[in-house]
Amino acid sequence: MSHAAIHTEQIHQARFTVQVSDLGKRFNREWIFRNLNYTFQAGQTYAITGANGSGKSTLLQVIWGQMPPSKGTVKYITEGVETTAESVFQRIAIATPYMDLIDEFTLQEQLDFHFKLRSPRYNLKTSEMIERMYLTAARDKYISNFSSGMRQRVKLALAFYTEADMVFLDEPGTNLDQRAFDWYLHELHQLPAHTTIFIASNQPAEYPASAHKIDIMQFK
């Protein structure tokens, strides 16, 4: 095996621990959360709970590195070595209601575009992804013509089917009907055991009963 191949394999086997220390975020004079100290272990599921508008989404964005904290630190550690947020970002998959899809693309084009930039999980082909999403009839339909529930299913699928060690799901059940919600739960449970999963939700049905719960209201 070449050195490059070995390096690639090591990256794909990375197990990230995320350590947050004295973490806080505020907008103007209002603290969204503060004094959060926690170690998120690889292979665990974490439910970030709290009422609407309590800051769950903000906390996720700080943890995955999109938004800087107002105080404290976020450290990503693999095999005892701290690594940069930039290098970790390629090992993260995200699905949020506020994430944009490309309206001018068909479903097939959206998937093709995404997976030119990221590796697919399970070596799935895009045709297999579409079948697993139960959206075969919409393969050539423009995203602009998708219902809100179909859009949410595509966003979740991009997170589920992207090779990643950490998966962030913000209000994942948004706009899903019962069939789509059942699909979501099935795909959630199919993620490899080493995957660290963050779910921001105030709906217990959206995360496993075994999830470690963090009530953001305790850090106001």
Q: What is the pLDDT of residues 60-109, one digit of tens each?
A: 999 999 999 999 999 999 888 898 888 888 899 999 999 999 999 999 99
- Residue ranges per domain, the chain? 3-219
CATH fold, domain 3-219, is Rossmann fold (3.40.50)
End-to-end CA distance of the chain: 51
The pTM is what?
A: 0.90
d(CA 205, CA 2): 46
d(CA 164, CA 13): 10
Distant-in-sequence, close-in-space partners of 19: CB < 8 Å, separation ≥ 6: 38, 39, 40, 73, 74, 75, 77
> Residue 62 in contact with residue 36, Cβ under 8 Å?
no
Question: For residue 13, is pLDDT > 70?
Answer: no
Question: For residue 212, is pLDDT > 70?
Answer: yes
Considering only CA atoms, which of 103, 105, 159, 101 is closest in space to residue 129? 159
d(CA 65, CA 18): 11
Residue-wise pLDDT tens digits, 122-173: 999 999 999 999 999 999 999 999 999 999 999 999 999 999 999 999 999 9
Angular region, 145: left φ>0, alpha ψ -120 to 50, beta rest: alpha
Encoding tokens for residue 175? 């706009």
